Amino acid sequence: MTMTMTMTRAKGRWPKLDPNDGVEDVTLLILEWLGEQGVGAMIRVDAERLQEGRPAWTFAASGGPLLEGMRADGASVAECMGRALLRQREAGLSVPF
């Protein structure tokens, strides 16, 4: 992943991202941004579901501007986070990534 550090309103740690990189490369930055908005969020992998061939990745978030808690599942980090970002936008929270 190619990043150039740029000073922003946050805490000076938001990078400019290479548009060819996937969402899985910025997942921790997304979680941090959500926390700064008052949203509690997490992503986890379930080893049992992975062994069973089921979607093993789960994103969950609640609080802040989200009126209801939300969850998104996927077979990969990219799929899970892609679904999570879509659901957040539908809830009116546009993550800047």
Q: Is residue 35 part of a domain?
A: no
Residue 87 confidence (pLDDT) above 90: yes
Count of domains in the chain? 1
Report residue 90's pLDDT band, with 50, 70 and 90 as the boundaries: very high
- Record the tokens describing residue 83, joined without a space: 């679904």
Listed in sequence order, the DSSP H helices in 9-93 are: 27-36, 47-51, 77-90
Q: pTM of this prediction?
A: 0.75
Strands 66-74 and 40-45: unpaired
Q: Is residue 59 part of a domain?
A: yes
Question: Nearest Cα to 38, choosing from 17, 66, 79?
Answer: 66
Q: Is residue 12 part of a domain?
A: no
Q: Is residue 49 part of a domain?
A: yes
Burial group, residue 5, by CB count within 10 angstroms (0-12, 13-18, 19+): exposed
pLDDT digits (tens, 9 = 90+) for 7-57: 334 455 444 544 455 777 899 999 999 999 999 999 999 999 999 999 999
Q: Is residue 63 part of a domain?
A: yes
* Boundaries of domain holding 95: 41-97
Report residue 2's pLDDT band, with 50, 70 and 90 as the boundaries: very low
pLDDT digits (tens, 9 = 90+) for 58-73: 999 999 999 999 999 9
Q: Is residue 52 part of a domain?
A: yes
